């Protein structure tokens, strides 16, 4: 079974750093792009960026370029999304998903990030 | 950048109704469009890919059509499990994967 399992919920203070993870299993992790999607409370889906774990080629949405860093460690089949200095406006659910010719499928269960002083 | 719009933003319907949601792209995306269903507290689920192809395991009451800039998702006979929010997404290039704003289907 193809599966993406994300790290658990995080509560952070403004200005802190954070790295969340997405571990793939059941398929060749290096052969598919992984995307990250933000969903702010009560809002829609926003594509943040994608990474190809095979060679770490990374593409960012202009809205998120410079705001986050996407990386991957193919040796442990894990993709990451990180912030160097969180803001309250980063409070959201973050999903990873595998990109295929069909779109994003499957999706991880989501990681809730709460940033509050 | 390609922008996606959906209409309506909210749709109230009854079990058994035929439901149609429209998605428009700001420029041609050929058939590179996917539809997702999201229920509260859950991750989105892929329903339709390449505008009209049904993802494996998805009930046949869901169908998609369109190409270029205008697309539709149709639920032929709405079931209780179908009350959710639906998003379209374009995947025309590997530099942007824009989602539409979503259509919430709720109970009339």
Separation CA A48–CA A35 (nearest Å): 7
Q: Which of B1, B43, B89 sits opposite A107 (nearest CB)?
A: B43
pLDDT at residue B94, as a whole number: 78
Q: Work out the pLDDT band at B95, boundaries 50, 70, 90.
A: confident
Torsion sign across C-alpha atoms A41, A73, A33, A66: positive
Q: Can you give the pLDDT at residue A101?
A: 87
Q: Within an 8 Å CB–CB cutoff, is residue B3 touching chain A?
A: no
Percent of chain B with pLDDT over 90: 93
Residue B1: predicted pLDDT: 87
The per-residue pLDDT for range A84-99, each reduced to its tens digit, is 999 999 999 999 999 9
pLDDT score at B93: 81
What gap in Å lies between CA B95 and CA B75, rounded to an integer?
Answer: 31
> Which residues of B, range 25-64, sit inside 8 Å of A by Cβ?
34, 36, 38, 43-46, 49-50, 53, 55
**Token pair of B36 as six digits:** 């997702």
Q: What is the pLDDT of residues B4-50, one digit of tens each?
A: 999 999 999 999 999 999 999 999 999 999 999 999 999 999 999 99
Q: By mean pLDDT, which of B7-11, B66-70, B95-99, B103-107 is the weakest?
A: B95-99
Count chain A–chain B contacts defined by CB atoms under 8 A.
64
Does the pLDDT of residue B107 top 90, yes or no?
no
Tell me which residue in A44, A101, A102 faces B102 most closely, judged by beta carbons.
A44
Cβ–Cβ < 8 Å for A96, A34: yes
pLDDT of residue B92: 85
- Inspect the interface and report whether the beta carbons of A35 and B97 lie closer than 8 Å: yes
Question: pLDDT tens across B53-65, in order?
Answer: 999 999 999 999 9
**pLDDT by 10s per residue, chain A, length 117:** 999 999 999 999 999 999 999 999 999 999 999 999 999 999 999 999 999 999 999 999 999 999 999 999 999 999 999 999 999 999 999 999 999 989 999 999 999 999 999
Averaged pLDDT, B85-98: 91
The answer to whether the Cβ–Cβ distance between B34 and A107 falls below 8 Å is no
């Amino acid at each position: 079974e193809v599966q993406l399992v994300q790290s658990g919920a995080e509560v952070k203070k403004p200005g802190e750093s954070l790295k969340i993870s997405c571990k793939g299993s059941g398929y060749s992790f290096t052969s598919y792009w992984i995307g990250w999607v933000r969903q702010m409370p009560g809002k829609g889906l926003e594509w943040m960026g994608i990474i190809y774990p095979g060679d770490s080629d990374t593409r960012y949405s202009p809205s998120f370029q410079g705001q986050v860093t996407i990386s991957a460690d193919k040796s442990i089949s894990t993709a990451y999304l990180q912030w160097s200095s969180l803001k309250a406006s980063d409070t959201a659910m973050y999903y990873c998903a595998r990109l295929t010719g069909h779109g994003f499928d499957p999706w991880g269960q989501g990681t809730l990030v709460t940033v509050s002083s | 950048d390609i922008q996606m719009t959906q209409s309506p933003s909210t749709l109230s319907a009854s079990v058994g109704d035929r439901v149609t949601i429209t998605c428009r792209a700001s420029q041609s995306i050929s058939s590179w469009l996917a539809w997702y269903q999201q229920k509260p507290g859950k991750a989105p689920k892929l329903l339709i890919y390449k505008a009209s192809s049904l993802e494996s395991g998805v009930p046949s009451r869901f169908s998609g059509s369109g190409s270029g800039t205008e697309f539709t998702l149709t639920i032929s006979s709405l079931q209780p499990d179908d009350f959710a929010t639906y998003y379209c997404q374009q995947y025309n290039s590997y530099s942007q994967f824009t989602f539409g704003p979503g259509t919430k289907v709720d109970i009339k």
